[in-house]
Structure 1
Amino acid sequence: MNTQNVNVKTATQDPPKRWVKDQRAFANQELGRFVVKYTAYSVRGVFSTHHRYFIFAKSRLDAAFKFGLLAPKESDFVVDAVDVQVPIQDVCISTTGYHFAVDADQWRCLENGEFVEVTSDGDIWNADRTYTLPLYGHLQQYHC
């Protein structure tokens, strides 16, 4: 009879995570975050209100175009300006739609500014590496 000594504690542990700082390991695209400033008019034209809408796009024109597609068809509005909030850069988009970029050697969520850690398989963890963040989904690996 062949027996082996097996340490139960180490046999059941997951292999250590490999933390990644290279954005090129995941599918990415060039995007910036823009602020579309617009004026919306009431149905009778009696009053107007000024609004801002934040959107990810490839250029100012792309931001205005995307805003026009998202705006309600019944509303009467005029786009006053499109300002750059976050310059165009390589951005990874998670499976749940969040945008991430490597900023000063740390992964950062562009929607809320939270710093996170990313494993080689695309899982997104909190900055302390103690638990995963399922709300953010995971990043798709880049395949040539």
Structure 2
Amino acid sequence: MNTQNVKTAAPESSERWETKACLFETQVLGRYNVKFSAPCFGGGVTLNCSHVTNAVNAFDAVVRFTRETHAVDCIVYDVEQTEEVRAVCVSTTGYRFVQRGYIWLCLDTGVIVDVSQDGSMRRGDDGQPIPAFGKLTRI
């Protein structure tokens, strides 16, 4: 029977993938749907549109809407809260993550991820890196 030392069979990784949310910076954010009317090019017609954004409250949602869309001549007529305000880890590319038990979940895409000690992420199902998600910032 051939036996092999476990430490020599698999090289040790410098990345540790079991982490806790308390190791990373958090923000208190919710999800808001900003409804607005905008004039159509050529005049006459007014379009009713909406824009989804992450914000702390309804006022913050309107401010972020203005900054994100560079809206001109738009009239905001309603702001709906679609997700409650809670503490989330925000990645360097703006995705929101929460930890439930040992599972990390991206609130924006629904993808389950693994998070390393340094904040980098990979898919939870196949272990592939996800560069578009960025990294979480350590405290």
TM-score w.r.t. structure 1 length?
0.78
- Structure-2 residue corresponding to 1:59: 57
1:28 deviation in Å?
0.8
**TM alignment of 1:1-144, pairs within 5 A:** 10=8, 13-15=11-13, 17-20=16-19, 22-42=20-40, 45-72=43-70, 75-103=72-100, 105-128=102-125, 130-142=127-139
CA contact (8 A) 2:28 2:88 kept: yes
Is the alpha carbon distance of 1:105 and 1:51 closer, same or farther for their aligned partners in structure 2, counting shifts above 3 Å? farther
CA contact (8 A) 1:32 1:58 kept: yes
CA contact (8 A) 2:112 2:125 kept: no
Bigger drift between 83-92 and 64-73 goes to 64-73
Structure 1, unaligned stretches of length 5 or more?
A: 1-6
1:57-108 deviation line (CA, Å, top 9, x unaligned): 11111101221233435x3211121111221111111122222122465211
User: Distance in 2 between the 1:28 and 1:104 partners?
Assistant: 17
1:52 deviation in Å?
1.1
User: Distance in 1 between the 2:8 and 2:16 partners?
Assistant: 15
CA contact (8 A) 2:31 2:52 kept: yes
Structure 2, unaligned stretches of length 5 or more?
A: none
1:56 deviation in Å?
0.9
Question: Which portions of structure 1, spanning 4 or more consecutive aligned residues, are displaced by more than 4 angstroms?
Answer: none
Q: Which SS does the other structure have where 2:93 is aligned?
A: coil
TM-score w.r.t. structure 2 length?
0.81
User: Distance in 2 between the 1:90 and 1:102 partners?
Assistant: 10
Give percent identity, aligned residues only: 30
